[in-house]
Amino acid sequence: MAINPNTDFSSGAVLTAAQQNRFPRGVMARNTATASDGTITVEEVQITGSSFTAVANRYYRITYFEPYLSGTSSNTLFTMRIRQTNLTGAIQNSSTTLNTVASVFFGTSGICEAISTFSAGTVNVVATLQASAGTGNASRSATSYAFLLVEDIGPA
């Protein structure tokens, strides 16, 4: 899709509805997780996003962040995915982070972002996590939380 940026404004010009609709609309959904999950092996949902109403032909930036990932096996790959609807939904994007040491004391953080468009209507996205070896641990707290954020960033 072609990008449809806003036009330059000049003093005395009339601001149109079309120009207003080209501005980003900001946060559409935000969910956090503060409880740790220490049993990650196969892909499982970590955060279920709030439903939001998508507008066709607009870009949405979706960000999934995990503050601390560790595992019971050395060289564990953590695959983070953003999916539409549920655990079997369409993958919007994925990223992988490596935990090189088998210890809950030496971990890493992870982030996965997607830029997506959706059909008009109600949309839900979920954040999933999978450990490649051993058992993975996503450590979280009230001051070190995982989140799933959906932002409208403008027209496609």
7 assigned to some structural domain: no
Q: Is residue 87 part of a domain?
A: yes
CA dihedral defined by 139, 49, 143, 34, rounded to 10 degrees?
-50
Q: Looking at the domain assignment, is residue 121 inside a domain?
A: yes
- Return the beta strands (E) in 34-102 as ranges: 37-40, 44-48, 52-54, 58-71, 76-84, 91-99
pLDDT at 85: 95
Considering the domain boundaries, does residue 11 fall inside one?
Answer: no
In a domain, 8, yes or no: no
In a domain, 58, yes or no: yes
Please compute the mean of the pLDDT values over residues 79-85 and round it to a whole number. Answer: 97
For residue 4, tell me if it sits in a domain. Answer: no
Number of domains present in the structure of the chain: 1
What was the pLDDT predicted at 27?
97
Does 102 have pLDDT greater than 90? no
- CATH at residue 145: 2.60.120.40
105 has pLDDT over 70: no
The pLDDT of residue 1 is above 60: no
Domain residue limits at 42 = 25-155
Residue 153, SS3 per DSSP: strand
Looking at the domain assignment, is residue 17 inside a domain?
Answer: no
User: What is the average pLDDT across 72-100?
Assistant: 93
Residue pLDDT, tens place only, 25-48: 999 999 999 999 999 999 999 999
CB 116 within 8 A of CB 89: no
